[in-house]
Amino acid sequence: MEEYQKDRYNTSAVTLSKKLTRRNFLPVICQNLAEAKEKALTWIEPDKTVGFGGSITVEAMGIIPDLYARGQTMIDREQTKTPAERYQVMRQALTADYFLTSINGISEDGELVNVDSVGNRVAALTFGPDKVFAFVSMKKVYGDLETTLAMVRRQTAPLNAWRLNLQQTPCIKKGTCGDCLQPECICNTIAITRRSMAKDRIVIFLILEDTGL
């Protein structure tokens, strides 16, 4: 990334942080994924449970193997063998002490926008785990709320459909969202989190490099 782009991200992150703070979120500006991982590992207490949702950003950080390596108790759906078992573990993750995820988009006023297929990420963000660590690139700050919703529906959701190798949605057949009702629909739930009820429960790691979809 060019230095001027990173400088712009940093300036925007400082401005956005003030708005996130007013909404009871706890913003943390990080230069890159490595810094975000280092801070998260320091803040996650070793004797607590950790769950996580599907996220390219979390995967790219490499934080999950590090948590396993230090003996953290993990609630990990990827270790299951059947769809029924996977679903139960996803439900168990809502009781974790910490939940790791990302955010599909953030408005310039600090509102969090997510689309979800099953709804586990949105559920954890809204209620359940004691702490939610959300890792998000500054490239996902799109503008006003209407623009952010449009970008998440028209850009992020189709990319995730392709990433997950879906077969029948308009995202796959036409390359763009068709507001479908297909069984494979990836945006069954569209959630706007405009404020955290509990102050500092949701920690937003604002990452000054391009990562995730």
56 in a domain, yes or no? yes
| pLDDT at residue 39, rounded to an integer | 98
> Which DSSP letter does residue 77 get?
G
The single residue listed with the structure tokens 């310039």 is 108
190 in a domain, yes or no? yes
> Which DSSP letter does residue 139 get?
G
44's CB contacts (< 8 A; 6+ apart) are 50, 67, 72, 98, 133
Residue 193 structure tokens: 């989190």
SS3 at position 74: strand
Sequence-ordered strand ranges (E) for the chain: 26-30, 49-52, 73-75, 98-102, 105-107, 112-116, 131-137, 141-143, 189-193, 202-207
Task: Kindly report the backbone phi and psi dihedral angles of residue 58, in degrees, each rounded to the nearest multiple of 5, phi listed first.
Answer: -60, -40
Task: Kindly report the backbone phi and psi dihedral angles of residue 34, in degrees, each rounded to the nearest multiple of 5, phi listed first.
Answer: -60, -40
| pLDDT at residue 88, rounded to an integer | 95
| pLDDT at residue 130, rounded to an integer | 97
Nearest to 156 by CA among 131, 126, 190, 124: 190
29 in a domain, yes or no? yes
| pLDDT at residue 107, rounded to an integer | 98
| pLDDT at residue 4, rounded to an integer | 85
212 in a domain, yes or no? no
In the chain, the number of structural domains is 1
Residue 137 structure tokens: 């690139």
| pLDDT at residue 35, rounded to an integer | 97
Instruction: Supply the CATH number for residue 23's domain.
Output: 3.40.50.10420
81 in a domain, yes or no? yes
18 in a domain, yes or no? yes
**Pairing state between β 105-107 and 141-143:** parallel
| pLDDT at residue 177, rounded to an integer | 82
Residue 175 region, left (φ>0) first, then alpha (ψ -120 to 50), else beta? left
Question: What is the residue range of 178's domain?
Answer: 3-207
75 in a domain, yes or no? yes
**Pairing state between β 112-116 and 73-75:** unpaired
Mean confidence (pLDDT) of the chain = 93
- pLDDT by residue for the chain (213 residues), tens digit each? 788 888 898 999 999 999 999 999 999 999 999 999 999 999 999 999 999 988 899 999 999 999 999 999 999 999 999 999 999 999 999 999 999 999 999 999 999 999 988 889 999 999 999 999 999 999 999 999 999 999 998 888 888 888 878 888 888 888 888 888 888 888 899 999 999 999 999 999 999 999 887
213 in a domain, yes or no? no
